[in-house]
Amino acid sequence: MTAKTTASGVAYDVQGDRADSERRDAAMQAFVRDFARTAAIHMESCLRCGMCATACQFYVTTGDPKYTPINKLRPFEQAYHRHIGPFAPIYRLFGLKSNVSIEMLQEWEALIYDACSLCGRCTLACPMGIDISELIKEARHGMYKAGLVPDRLELMDRTTKAWGSPASPSDDFADIVRDTGEENGVPVNVDLPKADYVITVAPAELTEHTKALTDIAKILNKIGASWTYSTAGFEASNIGYINGDLDLQEKMTRKIIDNAVAVGAHTLILPECGHAYGAARWEASRWYGKKVPVRVIHMTEFLAEVVNGGKVKLKKFGETTSFHDPCQLVRRGGVKQAPRDVLKALGLELKEFEDHGELGWCCGGGGGVVSNVRADPLRFKAFEIKRKQVEDANTQHFVTACGQCRITLTLGAKHAKWDQKVESLLELVADNLED
C-alpha cells in the first residue's frame, strides 16, 4: 500500500504492484461485468443539467464543481460508452471515446470514495431520476479491482477477511458479548444452537457503543423471545458492499444468512447500521441466489414492531427531540415512519428538520467516508449542514438510528468544539422500558 499524488496534486492510495494498464483493464472489466439494464439506462440519460450538484453535501459546503455527483462518474461514463453502450462499436471504430487512462482513475479515487457517502440525495434531485449513488457504488467495484482504494478502507477489507469483522476477531466476539452482559447486568445468549431471533452487529457495537449489545438483549429478554448472538455470523456492516469488493460482499452476506438458517431463526435483526440494511435487506438475495429464507429487519423496524404491537411499554419523556434520518435506512431503505413511531412512544415530541425523511442531509460519513481519515477535512466541512439543522431545531434531544451516523456526528461535533450529544434510538428504548 502506498500513498501517492497525481500530477495535478490529488492524493491517492494504491494497492499491489501491477502494471498500470493491467489495473486500468481490471477496473473496466469489473465495471462492465454485471452491468444491468437499469444502470445502462441511467448511464444513457444524463441531461448535464447540474441539478444534482445542489443536492450533494460536498458540493454545497465547498462550492467546488468537481463534487457535482455526475462528475464523480466521469471515467466510468467514458468506459460505458466505449465498452457497453448501444453505440460502443461505433465509438471504438471512430476512436470517439478513448480508453480511460490510469491517471484519470487515480484522480477519481478521491471523488468516488472520499467525496461520496453513497447517501443518494442526488438521486432525488435528478430530473431524469438517475440513481447516481447506485452508479457510484458500481464504479467502486471497478476501483477495488484496480487496487485504487483509500488505504484505510482497504485495511478494513483485509481485517474483515482475516477476522470476520473490521472491528474485532471472531474468536473474541463471544467474550465481548458476555463481558458486556456482565458489565451491564443483562443476561445474554451467545452461540445457542437454535433461536427465533439472530442478532447481528456492526463495528460500532464492538467499539464505541458496546452497550448496544445489551440494549437489544434487554428488550428481547423483556418480551421473552428466543434469541442468540452467533460467532458464525455476527458481522452485518459488510465492508465489501462499501468498498466495492464484491467477493467479500458475497462472503459476508452468506455468512449471516447461512448462520440464521442454521440456527432456525425466523428473523435476523440488523444492527443500528444503515449500510447493513442496504447490503442485507436489499442485496442479500442477489448473493444468496434465491429468496432469502429468513426475515431480515433493521433494529429500528424491530423496535417499532414491539412498541406498536404493545409488547413493551415505555416511560415517557415529555420532551422535544430532533432526528437524523440515516440515508440507507430512510431515503434508500423506505423506513421513515418506524423511528418516528418509536420516538412518539417515548413521549418525545419530534421537531423535524426542514429537510428530513427522504430529503434529509447525510451525516457525511456514510459509504466508508468516516473511516477514511484522508477525507476528514471534507467530512468536517459537510458536517456544517447538520450542525445548522440541529441548532435550528433547538431540541432537548438529538437522536439517530445508525451507529456509524452517531460516530460521524459525534466526531463532527467534537471537531467543531460543539457540545452536542447524539443519542441512539435503541438505547433510549432499552433505558426506558416500563417494568
Partner 1 sequence: MDLLAFARGPALSFSLAIFVLGVIWRLVGVLALSPWNDLSPPREGAPPNWLSAIQAVFRKMIPHRTFLTAGMFTTANGYVFHIGLAIVVLLFVPHILFIRSLFGVSWPGLPNGVVFGVGALTAASLLAALAYRLTSPVLKLISRPNDYISWLLTFVPVVTGLAAAAHVGARYETLLALHVLSICAFLIWFPFGKLMHAFLFVLSRGATGVRFGHRGAQL
Residues that bind ligand SF4 (CB under 6 A): 46-52, 55-58, 69-70, 72, 116-122, 125-128, 130, 132-133, 136, 362
374 grid coordinates: 484522508
Q: Are 192 and 184 in contact (CB under 8 A)?
A: no
What is the C-alpha separation between 401 and 424, in angstroms, rounded?
6
Q: Looking at 28-36, 225-233, 317-325, 425-433, which segment touches partner 1 (CB under 8 A)?
A: 28-36
Q: How far is the CB of 368 from ligand SF4 (least distance, A)?
A: 12
Told to check if 123 binds partner 1 by CB under 8 A, we report: yes
* Distance, first Cα to last Cα, the chain: 54
239 grid coordinates: 465492508
- Number of H helices and number of E strands within the chain? 21, 10
Name which of partner 1, ligand SF4, none residue 382 binds, using a CB cut-off of 5 to 8 Å depending on partner kind: none
Rg, C-alpha atoms of the chain? 22
Q: Looking at 8-16, 210-218, 303-311, 329-337, which segment touches partner 1 (CB under 8 A)?
A: 329-337
Q: How far is the CB of 124 from partner 1 (least distance, A)?
A: 6
Nearer to ligand SF4, 51 or 174 (CB): 51
Told to check if 290 binds partner 1 by CB under 8 A, we report: yes
Q: How far is the CB of 421 from partner 1 (least distance, A)?
A: 27
Contacts (Cβ under 8 Å, ≥6 apart) of 72: 108, 111, 112, 115, 116, 132, 136, 139
Name which of partner 1, ligand SF4, none residue 116 binds, using a CB cut-off of 5 to 8 Å depending on partner kind: ligand SF4
Name which of ligand SF4, partner 1, none residue 355 binds, using a CB cut-off of 5 to 8 Å depending on partner kind: partner 1
Q: Looking at 15-23, 214-222, 283-291, 405-413, which segment touches partner 1 (CB under 8 A)?
A: 283-291
Name which of ligand SF4, partner 1, none residue 286 binds, using a CB cut-off of 5 to 8 Å depending on partner kind: partner 1
Name which of ligand SF4, partner 1, none residue 119 binds, using a CB cut-off of 5 to 8 Å depending on partner kind: ligand SF4
Told to check if 131 binds partner 1 by CB under 8 A, we report: yes
Please give the residues from 43 up to 72 whose contact with partner 1 meets the rule CB under 8 A: 44-51, 53-55, 59, 65-66, 68, 70-71
Told to check if 354 binds partner 1 by CB under 8 A, we report: yes
Contacts (Cβ under 8 Å, ≥6 apart) of 78: 97, 98, 100, 104
Q: What does each C-alpha distance from 230 to 191, 201, 260, 262, 265 come to in angstroms?
A: 5, 10, 9, 10, 11
Half-sphere exposure of 409 (CA within 13 A, CB side): 28
Nearer to ligand SF4, 127 or 187 (CB): 127
Contacts (Cβ under 8 Å, ≥6 apart) of 130: 42, 45, 46, 52, 70, 123
Q: What sign for the dihedral angle of Cα 169, 171, 175, 180?
A: positive
**Angle, alpha carbons 73-35-245 (nearest 5°):** 75
Q: Which helix (H) or strand (E) holds 248?
A: helix 246-263
Q: How far is the CB of 72 from ligand SF4 (least distance, A)?
A: 6
**Angle, alpha carbons 407-411-415 (nearest 5°):** 175
Q: In 10 A of CB 224, how many CB atoms?
A: 8
Name which of partner 1, ligand SF4, none residue 98 binds, using a CB cut-off of 5 to 8 Å depending on partner kind: none
Binding mask 132-171 for partner 1 (x = CB under 8 A): --x-------------------------------------
Q: Looking at 167-175, 264-272, 278-286, 371-379, which segment touches partner 1 (CB under 8 A)?
A: 278-286
Location of C-alpha cell 462518474: 73
Nearer to ligand SF4, 72 or 340 (CB): 72
> How many Å separate Cα 201 from the centre of its chain?
13
**Angle, alpha carbons 189-229-372 (nearest 5°):** 140
Q: Applying CB under 8 A, which of residues 291, 417, 434, 435 lies at the interface with partner 1?
A: 291
Nearer to ligand SF4, 142 or 164 (CB): 142
Q: Applying CB under 8 A, which of residues 209, 331, 386, 406 lies at the interface with partner 1?
A: 331
What is the C-alpha separation between 209 and 333, in angstroms, rounded?
23
Strands (E) across 310-359 are located at: 319-324, 348-350
Q: How far is the CB of 134 from ligand SF4 (least distance, A)?
A: 9
CB-based contacts of 44-47 (< 8 A; 24+ apart in sequence)? 44/85, 44/86, 45/128, 45/130, 46/70, 46/77, 46/128, 46/130, 47/127, 47/128
Nearer to partner 1, 123 or 228 (CB): 123
Q: How far is the CB of 395 from partner 1 (least distance, A)?
A: 21
Nearer to ligand SF4, 69 or 233 (CB): 69
Residues found near partner 1 in the complex (CB under 8 A): 34-38, 40-42, 44-51, 53-55, 59, 65-66, 68, 70-71, 84-87, 123-125, 127-131, 134, 281-286, 290-292, 330-336, 354-355, 357-359
